[in-house]
């Protein structure tokens, strides 16, 4: 008989004891990082998802104030909760701490100076992780979606933590790969910091123009 907390695995997949331990460890690390709200409460943050979505606004001017480690951990853990194709996690994150690299990334991003931000995360596609029986082009498409979603989850997490972000898509992929020392292709850079000024969110088109209802 199934116990309430028994794990459910995909059909045909029988985890070894080692797998089970790894899965439990991963879950407990994520649970600890994401489940600890004590610091958020002490900072009086509004982390309600819809409030976070409502107030998110791109920022290109960051304060030099460094970001607390506990916030960085949550931003990274949030990326790890994003859905991925087949759950193969076809992406990698490069946390760029090195200041020379950060400065070089500015050049690889069409000289956008704000790329040199307090927290710089480069999201790369890793299609080789996606062990699905599909053509390479499909696996590449999955990997870009995996990397993009992960960055979006981090972006919302950063907003929830009272930080601001700028998503950088205007990059020379080859240069970025060279700078961070990888063969993987980057999909975006997420630059994060405390904003100098908090701005109102930008307007959007009407929902009625956005949504195409097909009946």
Q: Which residues of the shown chain bind ligand FMN in the complex (CB under 6 A)?
A: 57-58, 60, 112, 166-170, 202
Helix (H) or strand (E) holding 157: helix 136-160
| Closest to ligand FMN by CB, 15 or 113 | 113
Task: Report the residue number, 29 or 170, with the smaller CB distance to ligand FMN.
Answer: 170
Question: Is the Cβ of residue 46 or residue 68 nearer to ligand FMN in the bound state?
Answer: 46
**Pick 167 or 194: Cβ nearer ligand FMN:** 167
Question: Which residues neighbour 75 within 8 Å (Cβ) at sequence distance 6 or greater?
Answer: 119, 121, 154, 157, 158, 161, 163, 192
Nearest approach, Cβ of residue 171 and ligand FMN (Å)? 7
Residue nearest to ligand FMN (CB): 169
Burial of 42 (0-12, 13-18, 19+ CB in 10 A): exposed
CB closer to ligand FMN, 45 vs 106: 106
Residues 40 and 47 sit within 8 Å (Cβ to Cβ) = yes
Least distance from ligand FMN to the Cβ atom of residue 61, Å: 11
Q: How far is the CB of 168 from ligand FMN (least distance, A)?
A: 4
Question: For residue 115, how far is the Cα from the chain centroid?
Answer: 16
Q: Minimum CB separation from ligand FMN for residue 212, in Å?
A: 21
Distances 128 to 99, 135, 137, 173, 203 between C-alpha atoms, Å: 30, 12, 12, 18, 39
CA gap 164, 174 in Å, rounded:
27
The least distance separating ligand FMN from the CB of residue 59, rounded to whole angstroms, comes to 8
């Amino acid at each position: 008989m199934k116990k309430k907390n028994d794990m459910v695995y995909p059909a045909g997949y029988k985890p070894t004891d080692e797998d089970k331990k790894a899965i439990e460890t991963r879950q407990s690390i994520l649970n600890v990082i994401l489940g600890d709200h004590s610091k958020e409460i002490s900072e009086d943050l509004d982390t309600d998802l819809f409030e976070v979505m409502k107030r998110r606004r791109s920022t290109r001017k960051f304060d030099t104030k460094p970001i607390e480690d506990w916030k960085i951990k949550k931003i990274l853990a949030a990326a790890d909760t994003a859905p991925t194709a087949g759950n193969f996690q076809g992406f990698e994150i490069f946390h760029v701490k090195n200041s020379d690299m950060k400065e070089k990334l500015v050049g690889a991003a069409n000289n956008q100076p704000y790329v040199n931000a307090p927290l710089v995360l480069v999201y790369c596609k890793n299609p080789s992780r996606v062990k699905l029986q599909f053509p390479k082009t499909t696996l590449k498409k999955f990997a870009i979606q995996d990397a993009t979603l992960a960055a979006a989850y981090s972006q919302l997490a950063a907003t929830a933590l009272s930080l601001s972000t700028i998503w950088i898509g205007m990059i020379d992929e080859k240069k970025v790969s060279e700078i961070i020392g990888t063969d993987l292709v980057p999909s975006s850079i997420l630059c994060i910091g405390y904003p100098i000024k908090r701005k109102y969110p930008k307007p959007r088109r009407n929902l009625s123009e956005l949504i195409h209802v097909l009946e």
